[in-house]
Amino acid sequence: MPFFEKNATVSVVSSRANGRVKQLRAAFAGQARLSEGMVAIEGDHLLDEALRSGMVLKTVFVSERREVPKSVPRGVEVLRLTDEVFASAVETRSPQGVAALMVPPVAAMDDVLRGTPLILIAAGLQDPGNLGTLVRSAEAFGATGVVVTPGTVSAWNQKALRASVGSVFRMPVVSATAEEIAGLKARGVRLLATVGFEDGETVAAQEMDFSTACALMIGNEGAGLAAEWMEMADARVTIPCPGPVESLNAAIAGSLLLYEASRQRSGR
């Protein structure tokens, strides 16, 4: 596949069977093998965020109705698609006319353990919007990383990616098994189970000490934290709610706890 300068004249691809178009379609569908490990992004904002965050772009796709964004570096492969072919490859109903294949960043557990770790653990989250929002909140409130367990939706899911508004490009997101998460305790990290109720063993958020190395475990939207995570926890934390609600949305609860941790740490 040839490489084009960003201001060069590019022939218009009119076949849905084009190899790069098929790769883009597979990436949007989360088919890692068919996309060769690439991640798809769509829209000017995510493209700008990816470039600002130092992501490596493989190919940029533009529809025939618009120009190549000036932010696209020289040397990046650019393909111009007919509007029909472009719409067939992306997910949104009203596409902005620009998309890209990029190399996703790879993070390891050591990346989330820098400084005094503040880690968010997504244990079985299924809603991609919740995960993306939590990744964004993690960056906003100074967390050192996000850890996802088996059964949790991918942070590169398109809805999660859009909900993170680009934070997933910069916030380390690491997949880990239960054994690896239990191993955090040996590295001085307290595991805090977030629950939606108060009992004799539960500490209110404003009374919990978040100033030392800790990890907040957020459970499944419907079932909460599974028994294995509750048993693993060093303490339970909840957000007192004076209103008549049983529990908070997972993303809201995690964001409030991250804010409280940030507040305590900034005043340390």
Architecture, CATH, for domain 12-103? 2-Layer Sandwich (3.30)
**Beta carbons within 10 angstroms of residue 66's beta carbon:** 14
The token pair that represents 63 in the structure block: 């529809």
Tell me which residue of 215, 169, 208 sits closest to 189, measured CA to CA: 215
Q: Which residue has the tokens 């595991």?
A: 191
Spatial contact of 204 and 192, defined as CB atoms under 8 Å apart: no
Residues contacting 148, CB < 8 A, separation 6+: 121, 122, 125, 131, 154, 155, 173, 174, 175, 176
Each residue's pLDDT expressed in tens, for the chain with a length of 268 residues: 444 444 444 568 999 999 999 999 999 999 989 999 999 999 999 999 999 999 999 999 999 988 899 999 988 999 999 999 999 999 877 788 999 999 999 999 999 999 999 999 999 999 999 999 999 999 999 999 999 999 999 999 999 999 999 999 999 999 999 999 999 999 999 999 999 876 568 999 999 999 999 999 999 988 889 999 999 999 999 998 888 777 789 999 999 999 999 999 997 5
User: Which uninterrupted H or E stretch holds 140?
Assistant: helix 128-140
Q: What whole-number distance in Å separates Cα of residue 46 and Cα of residue 194? A: 31
91, burial (CB in 10 Å: exposed 0-12, middle 13-18, buried 19+) = middle
User: On the CB side of 17, how many CA atoms lie within 13 Å of its CA?
Assistant: 0
Taking the whole predicted model, whether its pTM rises above 0.85 is answered as yes
* Sequence letter at residue 229: W
Q: What are phi and psi of 91, to 5 degrees?
A: -100, -30
Pairing of strands 77-81, 12-13: parallel
The counts of H helices and E strands in the chain are 8, 12
Architecture, CATH, for domain 109-266? 3-Layer(aba) Sandwich (3.40)
Domain chopping of the chain, boundaries: 12-103, 109-266
